[in-house]
Amino acid sequence: MYLGVEINSMKLLVCGKGGSGKSTLTALIAKSLAKRGYKVLVVDGDESNLSLHRLLGVEKPKELKDLFGSRKEIFEKAKNLELRRIKDIPKEFVVAKDGIMLVCIGKIHSFGEGCACPMGALLREFLKGLKLDQNEFVVVDSEAGIEHFGRGVEEGCDAIVVVLDPTYESKIMADRIKAMNVEKPIYFVLNKFDERFGDLLKDLDAVVKIPFREEIFISCLKGEELKCEVDEIDRLVDVILNQKQA
């Protein structure tokens, strides 16, 4: 399907199995969108990992969950969150650089703190309530796995990028997601692609294949801002903006 109209605002959920490259691709997609002049809000929806901000070259923002006094309060009040527009988010919860803003839903900081359900609920309500103006994009980095579908996080998003890596687990995950019949555009991306195993991966119908690139790996390992140009990411963003189906 090709609608012939370029999308100019969208909430995009990036999901996939652990370590497949969700955070890396979130940062690269955000940068590709910002380069085109869009205003981009990256939402760190992963309650465990701590380094997404580094990939964007910014400091860690204050966590949105601190708007509430307790876990119980998050469940009770997240539905009434008055953050309807990006500009409504209080400045102290946003860090920004080069046209990209970052907000963080909340992390689990200490042992015994409890499960991540309040953060899941807050992420869902935040995304559902957020209305975008023209030229605004939201890119959501999520925790590993596909539990967000069960928690309704995808409800507040317009499209989903599923990051697959060359593993059997990713093949199973792709099949599981397809079987869910989610009524939103889903873009499968094969990350860390290696030609040598192309034959084994031919059943994974991905919109783009992103090769394993040493430059990306080293940058992430050093906890540095991702500055490399990745043509495949630009192609992916083109496909998403034009709502072409894989």
Does the protein bind Mg ion through residue 167 (CB under 5 A)? no
Q: d(Cα 161, Cα 27) in Å, to the nearest integer?
A: 13
Give the residue with the Cβ less far from ligand ATP, 83 or 142.
142
Provide the minimum distance between the beta carbon of 232 and ligand ATP in the complex, in angstroms, as a whole number. 9
Residue whose CB is less far from Mg ion, 51 or 245: 51
220 near Mg ion (CB under 5 A): no
Chain residues 12-51 in contact with ligand ATP, contact rule CB under 6 A: 16, 18-24, 46, 49
Tokens encoding 204? 């994974």
DSSP 180: T
In the complex, residue closest to ligand ATP by CB = 220
Phi, psi torsion values for 85, nearest 5 degrees? -130, 155
Candidate segments 69-77, 79-87, 176-184, 206-214, binder of ligand ATP by CB under 6 A = 206-214
For ligand ATP, which is the closer residue by CB, 197 or 217? Answer: 217
C-beta of residue 212 within 8 angstroms of C-beta of residue 192: yes
Q: Which amino acid is at 120?
A: G
Name the helix (H) or strand (E) containing 141.
Answer: strand 136-142
Considering only the stretches 4-12, 33-41, 78-86, 212-220, report the one whose residues sit in contact with ligand ATP under the rule CB under 6 A: 212-220
User: Torsion-angle region of residue 4: left (phi > 0), alpha (psi -120 to 50) or beta?
Assistant: left
Rounded Cα distance between 111 and 126, Å, is 26
- Residue count (the chain): 246
* Per-residue contact string for residues 126-145; x = within reach of ligand ATP by CB under 6 A: ------------------x-
d(CA 67, CA 21): 30
How many chain residues bind Mg ion (CB under 5 A)? 3
As a whole number of angstroms, the distance between CA 234 and CA 177 comes to 24
Site map 16..55 versus Mg ion, x via CB under 5 A:
------xx-------------------------x------
Closer residue to ligand ATP (CB): 160 or 210: 210
Cβ distance to ligand ATP smaller for residue 1 or 221:
221
Closest contact distance (angstroms) between CB of 94 and Mg ion is 20
Whole-angstrom Cα distance, residue 15 to residue 145? 7
Rounded distance, CA 228 to CA 147, Å?
Answer: 31
**Chain contacts with ligand ATP (rule: CB under 6 A):** 16, 18-24, 46, 49, 144, 191-192, 210, 212-213, 216-217, 220
